[in-house]
Structures are given as structure tokens and as C-alpha cells.
Amino acid sequence: MNSAGLINTLSKKLHLPKADVEKRVEDMVSIITEELTKNNTVSLLNLGNLEIKKREERVCVNPNTGKRVMVPPKLVVKFKTSPTLKEKLKGLKYE
């Protein structure tokens, strides 16, 4: 599902205009982004946690040339699934 699909589904479920739902989704993403830039963890009930982690500097090898390249450290967003969601997904089969 992409953001348009999410907005359509929420609009139908909440009986609200798509424009209102789109604004609320944009506000939610903005708030989550703001909290992550402050290095705060964002916990979403029954979904999981989003947090910033530092990826250390590492050496990578270009498979075409065999040349070794040093990749600098950077900050990345990590998602940890909640136990509730893990339990719901446990019985699903991958197709």
C-alpha cells in the first residue's frame, strides 16, 4: 500500500474527506520526522518503534572493479516491530 492507498482507506474508514485525511497524514509524518531529528524514539502502539542509530564507518568492495571503498559513518532510521505485530504476522505464509 502506498500513501494514496492509505489515505483512501482512512478516508473511507473515518468518513472524512480525502483532503482532511491527507493533511493529517502529512502532519503525522512531519511530527515523526521532527522527533527523530531530535534523536527521540517514536513508539507507535501495536506497530513498533522508530529510532535513529549510527551506522559505523566500514569498508565496501565494488564487485565490478574489486576496488575497496571506505563508506563514512551515517545516521539511519531503524524500525523495531512490536511483539503484538510480530504475533499477528507469525502465521502468515510468504508468497
Give the range of the structural domain holding residue 74, as residue numbers without chain letter: 44-95
Q: Are residues 31 and 70 in the same domain?
A: no
Q: Are residues 18 and 34 in the same domain?
A: yes
Binned at pLDDT 50, 70 and 90, residue 90 comes out as: confident
pLDDT mean over 25-51: 95
Domain total in the chain: 2
pLDDT tops 90 at residue 5? yes
Residue 60, judged by CB atoms within 10 A of its CB (0-12, 13-18, 19+), counts as: exposed
Q: Are residues 73 and 95 in the same domain?
A: yes
pLDDT mean over 1-5: 93
Instruction: Give me the amino acid identity at 63.
Output: P
Q: What does the pLDDT read at residue 28?
A: 95
CA distance 18 to 24: 10
Q: Model-level pTM?
A: 0.78
pLDDT mean over 83-93: 88
